[in-house]
Chains A and B, each alone.
Chain A
Amino acid sequence: MLPAAGSISSLVAGLWLLNIVLDTSGQLAFKAAAGNPLAGDGLARWKHMAARPWLWLGIACYVIEFLVWIAFLSLIPLSEGVLLGSINIVAIMVAGRFLFGEKLTRLRVIGILLVTLGVTIVGVAG
């Protein structure tokens, strides 16, 4: 799944991987922040979230990801970059399966495989 070393520099590959890690961690942190049913509603819920690290971890991930993505896109064509970035969808679903026990139905597995196939084609030959 890693882009071939020939077509893409190691800096680009590193930024791509970092983007996946940050995007997935950020999403999962928001999920952990928002998913607590004991937190109440409205303002109480926001206070509950703000007093715990998950929300802030999520925000930190997104801020760093913002910069990583700018650096990534400045090094490769935009049309290639957005396609390679689609792998985040897969990473989040797989992580959700392992950490939150979310179900991977057959249709989801097909979707994940198709997105992965597309990203691989672009990464290897893009």
Chain B
Amino acid sequence: MRRFYLFGFLLLMGFDTLSQISFKYAGTQALPVAASVAWLLRVFGQPWVYGAIVGYVGAFFTWMSLLKHAPIGPAFAASHLEVVSVMLLSVWLFDEHLTVPRVLGAIAIIAGIVCLGLAESREHTPEPAA
């Protein structure tokens, strides 16, 4: 069962990561940004936007089936920890830099997400009888 959770969490992160990477490619190819039909046509006229949709749909169904079985705390954390994989991939794919503020910010955010995941776990596990 543990292996099932781990696989589920990784799958969830994978779908979320796919979405974010696809969003970035789709947006970059549709530049310049404008509140116009022309921009919408540029967004939907290249394949990346559909990668983002696939990622969204995949993440949704993975999340729903995980929630049926997995504890909510780790599931919550896993559903937001794609920031790590997305940051690492953006260095490789988009030549971005892991600046000091970004790394510090990421550490604080991840610590916060872990706290929130722990809080969810506590709330959803029955308290041991006093």
A contact residues vs B (CB 8 Å cutoff): 11, 66-67, 69-75, 77-83, 86, 89, 93, 103, 105, 107-108, 110-122, 124-126
CB pair B102 A122 closer than 8 Å: yes
Residues of A within 8 A of B24 (CB): 73-74, 78, 81
Contact residues of A: prevailing secondary structure: helix
**8 Å CB interface, B77-130 against A:** 80, 82-83, 86-87, 90-91, 94, 96, 98-99, 101-102, 104-116, 118-119, 122-123
CB pair B102 A79 closer than 8 Å: yes
Bound together, the chains give a CA A73 to CA B28 distance in angstroms of 8
Bound together, the chains give a CA A114 to CA B106 distance in angstroms of 10
Partner of B119 from the list A71, A78, A108, A115 (CB cut-off 8 Å) is: A108
Residues of A within 8 A of B26 (CB): 70, 74
CB pair B30 A70 closer than 8 Å: yes
Residues of A within 8 A of B40 (CB): 67
CB pair A119 B20 closer than 8 Å: no
